[in-house]
Amino acid sequence: MEQQQTKKTILSGIKPTGTLTLGSYLGAIKNWVELANDYECYYMLADMHAITVRQDPAELRRRTLEQLAQYIAAGLDPEKNTIFIQSHVPQHAELSWVLSCYAMFGEMTRMTQFKDKSAKNADNINVGLFTYPVLMAADILIYNADLVPVGDDQRQHVEITRDIAQRFNSIYGDVFTLPEAYVPKTGARVMSLQYPENKMSKSEEDTGGCVSILDKPEDIMRRFKRAVTDSGSEIRFDAKEKPGISNLIQILSACTGRAFSEIESDFSGKGYGDFKLAVGEAVVETLRPVREEAEKLLADKTYLETVYRDGAARAQRRAQRLLSKVYKKVGFVAL
Ligand code: TYM
């Protein structure tokens, strides 16, 4: 226990709003697995973030447990990582309130995700959607996380977390560690298979543009066979001119560890059809063990409960230390 305190800390999370996508797997979770030996790692199921968009309550509960099974199946060992459900650690929401008094209205209005989501949910632009980055800052700062492994789209939220932390520190002294986003070189921005100019996202499950990590091999292959490609016939990475093929190259590289240039030369002279099949097969093989293990784990609800209970207890202990410090700094009377 004591020894762990000298390690740097990592925190990340994913909203349980659907089955994990190939995007969140390659952009986030796959990269978390290797970090466990060198860092003290906290991974949450961001259920409180999920409700900024309307959720069916029974579905949200089911998806949260499913996502927990998927975290473990993807290789996150609950003995080596603290895995917890965000709403089980009330200190996040408590710190979020304090931080909201040090976050500026103007800076929140500049958040790209807020702009996108409020355009998509025009009938429900709730205050939670607006203050979402403050809760995310609390998630990160309450563990004094050094690194935040995320995909490219979350970079801006980590930057605003630093700004809020810096503002607080400049008033009260060194309370918070300034975190850094840790974005993978390949897989940081997996694009839709149908609209390669947009990121692959859970909301796109019906269009065939999204692959989820629980999809059956035949469904994955069908989606890759139908993936949108570009004019021309060359298999070459060029995100601007050839967004479809470049996305597939990126996916193949993230699944196999092969460099873009190696992929380009392997497929030189071959057609798009063959290439799409090869990418589909690599994805099937990458996801197969995860899906099989997740299905097994989901059948064992008692085990999953032990994991999240234990995770919540560990996370609460650590989070309370920082929350008490913050309450003292701002001048609340200790109980
Ligand atoms: P969320 O749930 O939208 O996505 C979870 C993680 O997956 C990454 N990701 C992708 N990476 C590459 N290509 C894609 N197509 C793709 N789609 C998603 C995201 O960048 C993210 O890393 N606000 C966060 C959840 C969160 C969080 C936190 C993260 C809440 N609190 C604290 C880190 C630290 C979110 O909505 O992620």
Q: What is the pLDDT along the chain (335 residues), one digit of tens a residue?
A: 444 468 999 999 999 998 899 999 998 898 899 899 999 999 999 999 999 999 999 999 999 999 999 999 999 999 999 999 999 999 999 999 999 999 999 999 999 999 998 898 899 999 999 999 999 999 999 999 999 999 899 999 999 999 999 999 999 999 999 999 999 888 789 999 999 999 998 877 677 899 999 999 999 999 999 999 988 889 999 999 999 999 999 999 999 999 999 999 999 999 999 999 999 999 999 999 999 999 999 999 999 999 999 999 999 999 999 999 999 999 999 99
Q: Please, what are the domains in the chain? A: 2-187+301-330 (3.40.50.620), 204-295 (1.10.240.10)
Closest CA to 322 of 167, 115, 103, 165: 165
Non-local (6+) Cβ contacts of 103 within 8 A are 131, 133, 134, 137, 160, 164
Catalytic residue among 15, 30, 117, 242: 117
- Helix (DSSP H) and strand (DSSP E) numbers for the chain: 14, 5
Is 7 a catalytic site residue?
no
Asked if 137 and 101 touch (Cβ cutoff 8 Å), the reply is: no
Cα of 270 vs centre of ligand 1, distance in Å, is: 35
Cα of 334 vs centre of ligand 1, distance in Å, is: 36
Dihedral sign of CA atoms 53, 57, 60, 64 in order: positive
Residues with CB under 6 A from ligand 1: 11-15, 23-24, 27-28, 46, 49, 136, 139-140, 148, 150-151, 153-154, 188-190, 199-201
Cα of 37 vs centre of ligand 1, distance in Å, is: 22
* Stated pTM of the model: 0.92
For residue 9 the two structure tokens come to: 């800390």
Give the other-Cβ count within 10 Å of 8's Cβ.
14
pLDDT at 186: 80
Closest CA to 21 of 189, 151, 202: 202
**Residue from 10, 11, 12, 14 whose mutation best tests the ligand 1 pocket (most atoms within 8 A of CB):** 14
pLDDT at 203: 75
Cα of 329 vs centre of ligand 1, distance in Å, is: 31
Among protein residues, the one with the nearest Cα to ligand 1's atom 20 is: 151
Among protein residues, the one with the nearest Cα to ligand 1's atom 4 is: 14
pLDDT at 231: 87
Asked if 16 and 60 touch (Cβ cutoff 8 Å), the reply is: yes
* Residue 32 burial (C-beta neighbours within 10 Å; 0-12, 13-18, 19+): buried
Buried b (16+ CB within 10 A) or exposed e, 119-147: eeeeeeeeeebbbbbbbbbbbbbbbbbbb
Buried b (16+ CB within 10 A) or exposed e, 170-206: eebeebbbbbebbbbebbbbbbbbbebeebbbbebee
Asked if 138 and 96 touch (Cβ cutoff 8 Å), the reply is: yes
Chain position carrying tokens 């063959």: 274
pLDDT at 2: 45
